[in-house]
Amino acid sequence: MDMTYRSLDRELAADDPWRLDGNPFERERHAEMLRLSLTRGAIKNALEVGCAAGAFTEMLAPHCQRLTVVDVVPRAISRAKERTRRWSHMVWVVSDIQRFSAAESFDLIVVAEVLYYLADTVEMRAAIRNLVGMLAPEGLLVFGSARDANCRRWGHAAGAETVIAILKETLVEVGRVHCQGESVNEDCLLACFRNSIQPN
């Protein structure tokens, strides 16, 4: 994770890292993520995992009573925090998703373009278990990722199709969107899942 962390930190120094603001593909991806997130209207308590420079955070924030934002890279938190400074209902945490925990549960969890940075599917499963454990009954989890083929080409263990299959072991899939841009790298799946497990 060390090399990945350093690489992410370097990329976050750019004016528009990963062209999240300037690229029509990224704007479409974020619009679809927001649409899936708002399936049930306003959100009481949300968690965003991996905020990058805050492009999606800024879109999601006005729809949440409370929004917790977690990223492993302090520079990402700083940039997203600056971008969303007009809101006071946000909590910022620098943490690895495998170690992050919260006492409260979330009625929405958004995790996009994050899980493929983990070393292998064992770590992905552990991170997913951690996230599902924080998802409220009937809560929604919105997941997005580049597809398996691209992720493997980039040197990652797996991407969207693999993670979606793992999520479907414990959650119910209620929506899916395929976003594709002009480049071969601009090909991702977004999926929305519901936690159908009732509390004890």
φ, ψ of residue 172 to 5 degrees: the values are: -100, 125
Compute the CA torsion angle 141, 144, 149, 154 (nearest 10 deg): -120
- State residue 5's pLDDT score: 45
Give the pLDDT mean for 114-128: 93
Decide if pLDDT at 38 tops 60. yes
- State residue 3's pLDDT score: 52
Q: Which among 91, 95, 114 has a CA at the least distance from the CA of 104?
A: 91
Q: 3-state class of 103 per DSSP? A: coil
CA atoms within 13 A on the CB side of 3: 4
Give the pLDDT mean for 107-122: 94
- State residue 16's pLDDT score: 46
Task: Give the residue, 2 or 58, on which the prediction is more confident.
Answer: 58
Does the predicted model carry a pTM greater than 0.85?
yes
**Rounded mean pLDDT of the chain?**
88
Give the pLDDT mean for 60-86: 92
- State residue 21's pLDDT score: 57
Distances (CA, A) of 123 to 9, 118, 148: 21, 6, 16
- State residue 42's pLDDT score: 84
Q: Are 166 and 157 in contact (CB under 8 A)?
A: no
- State residue 120's pLDDT score: 93
Q: Are 130 and 101 in contact (CB under 8 A)?
A: yes
CA atoms within 13 A on the CB side of 150: 17
Whole-angstrom Cα distance, residue 153 to residue 101? 32
